[in-house]
């Protein structure tokens, strides 16, 4: 709740005169309802429908390809009239449910994981084709973490790592070449151009990251204050696009300073830790894997978003959990938190 409140105030400051703050407040209210429902509804009941949840994920992602709305070269949203729905956000949580339950059902033959990898790869592929490279990377890391934490024999983990290293090196070399068939032109420039100071086209893409870094630094200890009229503010100078979504941490750093930025990081870290603590005490294997996976998801997204805002990673569009604007993202996160809370309650009931 605390980190969402910070996000609402920062979104209002970043989009003064627009209705994004009101929509986020509405999303927050709906998120609380979703949170309460899935806190009280047994996660074991929800997880029974894991195949239906997986099918819904594939259908929604496929629907984006057919009837999705295109914005800035990417087709990631479905226009519902009153709001833009982004299936890839809910797909993150749905895939964690599917993988956790799939592994639970087959825990006796856990060392054969080709099936779950194939099903997960279909989700990765559909998201990548939108194209949404950043979300694909985040959800892939989450999947790998779940598999690692699931208890697979170390020999299999070692074998996968040994096989993956040359594949990653060859793939990395290939995508670093101009006109490769895997990355879009702007994706290539964002990744390769990040390391090429003399790349004129990539310099334009680095421009807002450089402004973001300066803005966060200019916030000092306590920041310039929300809704400020400082002419040196990157917000007031329109020097950063998507300041209410992908670069919301820039607004946090500039207007709330080091204290505000540290507060957001600490709050999100505490949420991740609570997910892992709840997972370690979960009454079932599937509940444990879900908590671990959801914690990794929040942690990975936080790390990537802040690393992009502080120019530690190439520019890629990932929202900051609970802080960035986005109704689908917010509702998905509160859905996941509701499931985690319910898993904690199930442990209490089991102890009683």
Q: What is the pLDDT of residues 154-193, one digit of tens each?
A: 666 677 677 777 877 777 666 666 776 666 666 666 666 6
**pLDDT at site 34:** 96
Tell me how far apart the alpha carbons of residues 250 and 311 are, in angstroms, rounded to a whole number: 11
pLDDT score recorded for residue 110 = 58
348, 287, 272: which is closest to 43 by C-alpha? 287
Query: Is residue 43 pLDDT above 90, yes or no?
Result: yes
pLDDT for 352 equals: 46
Contact in structure between 151 and 167 (CB atoms under 8 Å): no
Query: CA-CA distance, 106 to 95, in Å (whole number)?
Result: 16
Q: What is the pLDDT of residue 292?
A: 96
DSSP for 29-72, written as a single string: HHHHHHHHHHHHS-HHHHHTTHHHHHHHHHHHHHHHHHHPEEET
Cβ-contact 254, 219 below 8 angstroms: yes
> Six-digit token pair at 73?
């070269």
Taking the model in full, what pTM does it have? 0.89
User: Is pLDDT at 93 greater than 80 in this prediction?
Assistant: yes
**Mean pLDDT across 268-272:** 97
The Cα–Cα gap between 3 and 256 comes to: 13
Question: Looking at residue 109, what DSSP letter applies?
Answer: G
Residue among 203, 208, 90, 71 nearest 131 (CA): 71
Rounded Cα–Cα distance for residues 260 and 238 (Å): 22
Mean of pLDDT values over 320-336: 94
- pLDDT digits 0-9 by tens, 193-216: 666 666 666 666 677 888 888 889
pLDDT beyond 60 at 123: yes
Under 8 Å between Cβ of 65 and 130: yes
- Does the structure show a pLDDT above 90 at 38? yes
DSSP state of 233: -
């Amino acid at each position: 709740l605390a980190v969402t409140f910070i996000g609402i105030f920062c979104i209002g400051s970043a989009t003064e005169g627009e209705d994004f703050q009101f929509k986020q407040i509405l999303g927050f209210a709906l998120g609380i309802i979703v949170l309460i429902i899935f806190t009280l509804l047994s996660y074991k009941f929800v997880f029974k429908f894991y195949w239906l949840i997986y099918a819904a994920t594939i259908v929604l992602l496929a629907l984006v390809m057919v009837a999705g709305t295109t914005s800035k070269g990417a087709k990631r949203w479905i226009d519902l009239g009153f709001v833009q729905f982004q299936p890839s956000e809910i797909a993150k949580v749905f895939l964690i449910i599917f993988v956790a339950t799939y592994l639970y059902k087959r825990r006796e033959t856990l060392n054969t994981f080709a099936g779950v990898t194939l099903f997960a790869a279909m989700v990765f592929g559909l998201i990548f084709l939108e194209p949404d490279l950043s979300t694909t990377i985040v959800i892939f890391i989450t999947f790998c973490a779940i598999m690692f934490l699931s208890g697979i024999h170390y020999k299999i983990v070692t074998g996968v790592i040994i096989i993956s290293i040359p594949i990653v090196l060859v793939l990395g070399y290939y995508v670093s070449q101009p006109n490769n068939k895997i990355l879009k032109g702007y994706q290539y420039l964002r990744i390769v151009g990040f390391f090429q100071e003399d790349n004129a086209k990539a310099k334009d893409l680095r421009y807002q990251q450089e402004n973001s870094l300066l803005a966060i630094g200019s916030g000092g200890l306590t920041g310039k204050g929300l809704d400020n009229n400082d002419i040196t503010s990157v917000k007031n100078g329109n020097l950063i696009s998507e300041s209410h979504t992908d670069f919301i941490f820039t607004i946090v750093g500039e207007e709330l300073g080091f204290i505000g930025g540290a507060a957001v990081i600490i709050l999100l870290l505490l949420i991740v830790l609570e997910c892992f603590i709840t997972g370690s005490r979960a009454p079932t294997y599937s509940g444990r894997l879900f908590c671990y996976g959801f914690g990794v998801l929040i942690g990975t997204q936080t790390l990537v978003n802040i690393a992009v805002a502080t120019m530690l990673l190439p520019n890629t569009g990932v929202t900051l959990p609970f802080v960035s604007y986005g109704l689908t993202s917010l509702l998905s996160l509160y859905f996941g938190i509701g499931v985690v809370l319910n898993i904690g309650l199930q442990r209490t009931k089991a102890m009683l």
